[in-house]
Amino acid sequence: MDMDMDMDMVKQPKKLKAIACAIIAIGLGFTAATNAISNVFAKKNPPLAYQLGWKTGPALGEYAELRMKLGVMAKNPDKGVEPLALAALRKEAITPPALNVLALAAADRGEIERAYSLFAQSDLQSRRNVVAEVWLIEYLLKKDRVVDAIGKFDVAMRVSVEGQKALLPVLAMALREDKIFGQTKDVFRKKPVWLPALVETAIALPDTQPNVARAVVIAGGLAGQQDAGGLSQNLFTGLVTQKQYDVARQLYRTQVKGDQGALTSIGFTPSTISGSYAPIAWELKQNEKVQTEWELSRTGKTMLSVTAGNGANGPVARKLVFLKPGRYSLTIQAGKDDAYPMVPLDIALRCGHAQFPLMQMAVTKQGPARNEGDVLVPPDCNALIADIMVRGVAEGTTSRTYLNSIELKKL
């Protein structure tokens, strides 16, 4: 509903009313013309229609609904809206905005079932009745009528852009409850057209992301234009930030077609250095003291170049990997640039939910190296994080190290 008033029109209400009515009266007759134009103006500008004296049922209903909304926003309920709504219904028995006003007033008094009855009547008259749709969906969810709520949501999402904006947060928040999510799976198997919009909403509501991601998996993923703007990658990032590693892995498997070796390898391969869905692909970190980048060796193999200086310290690359429990060996191959001393590096492995590493290995010289002792991945370690870190560079110096290879091999 457009609440902006055209001030020039307000200044000349009698002239506008006469001109508008005269034009339409040519084809419709005076009474029908007045009613028709008042209803149009009621949709576009309820206060203006009311000021012009056009008080048909729809016009009064729209004006009453607007006044109620303004009262809610101002936290100062307008006591005059109910009489206006009743007047609207006396002029025209089926006036959705007026029914909405009476329903909201009933709900405010705690008369929930009466509010439901009024909203249901209002909703029957218009499939673009956002106020009624939002209230009814929340009511049905609270009554555990999830299938009915989702059915109503699906219809509303397909017919009203305004409805989408209002309803998407309602559904996203409701899906946090596993009981509700469990009853929506059939809807998502049908790949609803509004799924990308739901994902976009979830990105702004972190605690809704796990089950929305599961919905994407059930739907078979987002493809082509559905994934415009990297929706799935943004959702994936949110899941990793919340340490929802299992769901993140499911989403990756659904979205990434082809080589999925990055899930189980920390080596430098096309899928692990692509940058897509980091940190399942290596995530490189940059700052004013450290530069990390991928380079090709003389033999055409990919290697990680780390250049650091002036007291650089901290993580420079991170990788998430999913390994079966057991013992592993960590091996690396490091190289140097003859023009610079080597950057002292540490490589640490830790479980995703743990604070302390399973192992930490220093890289201080060129050539091959193996971690002393085995890396033991425990059964409850559902995700492993590999960190490459700079371990203090002397002030006033610039250093460079090439990490030619890195591998975790099951023993």
CB burial string 252-276: b at 16+ within 10 A, e below: bebbbeeeeebbebbbbeebbbeeb
Please report, rounded to a whole number, the percentage of residues in the chain having pLDDT higher than 90.
39
3-class SS string, 200-238 = HHHHCCHHHHHHHHHHHHHCCCCCHHHHCCCHHHHHHHH
Residue 16 pLDDT class (50, 70, 90 cuts): very low
Question: Is-cis flag, bond preceding 206, omega within 30?
Answer: no
Quick: pLDDT tens for 249-278.
999 999 998 889 999 999 999 999 988 899
Residue 52 pLDDT class (50, 70, 90 cuts): very low
Check whether 13 has a pLDDT greater than 80. Answer: no
Q: Which two tokens stand for residue 284?
A: 């490189």
Chain centroid to Cα 245, Å, comes to 18
CATH of the domain at 302: 2.60.120.260
> For position 15, what pLDDT does the model report?
39
Instruction: Please indicate, yes or no, whether residues 57 and 121 belong to a single structural domain of this protein.
Output: yes
Q: Is residue 136 part of a domain?
A: no
Quick: pLDDT tens for 230-246.
899 999 999 999 999 99
Residue 90 pLDDT class (50, 70, 90 cuts): low
CATH of the domain at 43: 1.25.40
Please state the rounded mean pLDDT for residues 24-36.
31
Instruction: Please indicate, yes or no, whether residues 315 and 244 belong to a single structural domain of this protein.
Output: no
The amino acid sitting at 170 is V
Please report, rounded to a whole number, the percentage of residues in the chain having pLDDT higher than 70.
76
> For position 85, what pLDDT does the model report?
54
> For position 76, what pLDDT does the model report?
39
Q: What is the pTM of this model?
A: 0.74
Please state the rounded mean pLDDT for residues 303-309.
91
Residue 317 pLDDT class (50, 70, 90 cuts): very high
Instruction: Please indicate, yes or no, whether residues 327 and 378 belong to a single structural domain of this protein.
Output: yes
Which range among 95-99, 104-108, 373-377, 389-393 shows the weakest confidence by mean pLDDT? 95-99
**Mean pLDDT over each residue of the chain, to the nearest integer:** 78
Instruction: Please indicate, yes or no, whether residues 247 and 319 belong to a single structural domain of this protein.
Output: no
**Does the CA dihedral 168-170-175-179 come out positive or negative?**
negative
Q: Is residue 150 part of a domain?
A: no
Neighbours of 90 (CB within 10 A): 12
Please state the rounded mean pLDDT for residues 371-376.
85
CA dist., res. 139 & res. 41, Å (int): 32
Of 131-145, 159-173, 243-257, 352-366, give the range with the top mean pLDDT: 243-257
> For position 215, what pLDDT does the model report?
96
Instruction: Please indicate, yes or no, whether residues 296 and 250 belong to a single structural domain of this protein.
Output: no
Residue 82 pLDDT class (50, 70, 90 cuts): low
Please tell me which residue, 394 or 43, carries the higher pLDDT value.
394
Please state the rounded mean pLDDT for residues 66-89.
47
CA dist., res. 144 & res. 253, Å (int): 32
Quick: pLDDT tens for 60-76.
344 444 444 433 333 43
Q: Which two tokens stand for residue 393?
A: 């560079």
Find the domain containing 386 and state its range: 283-410
CA dist., res. 84 & res. 63, Å (int): 8
Q: Is residue 147 part of a domain?
A: no
Please state the rounded mean pLDDT for residues 91-116.
75
Instruction: Please indicate, yes or no, whether residues 193 and 308 belong to a single structural domain of this protein.
Output: no
Residue 394 pLDDT class (50, 70, 90 cuts): low
Q: Is residue 267 part of a domain?
A: no
Check whether 31 has a pLDDT greater than 70. Answer: no
Looking at the 3D structure of the chain, how many domains does it have?
A: 3
Instruction: Please indicate, yes or no, whether residues 235 and 354 belong to a single structural domain of this protein.
Output: no
Check whether 100 has a pLDDT greater than 80. Answer: no
Which range among 119-128, 188-197, 397-406 shows the weakest confidence by mean pLDDT? 119-128
CA dist., res. 102 & res. 359, Å (int): 66
Instruction: Please indicate, yes or no, whether residues 41 and 87 belong to a single structural domain of this protein.
Output: yes
Residue 396 pLDDT class (50, 70, 90 cuts): low
CA dist., res. 316 & res. 328, Å (int): 23
Residue 195 pLDDT class (50, 70, 90 cuts): very high
Instruction: Please indicate, yes or no, whether residues 195 and 238 belong to a single structural domain of this protein.
Output: yes
Check whether 340 has a pLDDT greater than 80. Answer: yes
> For position 21, what pLDDT does the model report?
35
Q: Is residue 151 part of a domain?
A: no
> For position 55, what pLDDT does the model report?
40
Instruction: Please indicate, yes or no, whether residues 295 and 406 belong to a single structural domain of this protein.
Output: yes
Instruction: Please indicate, yes or no, whether residues 233 and 294 belong to a single structural domain of this protein.
Output: no
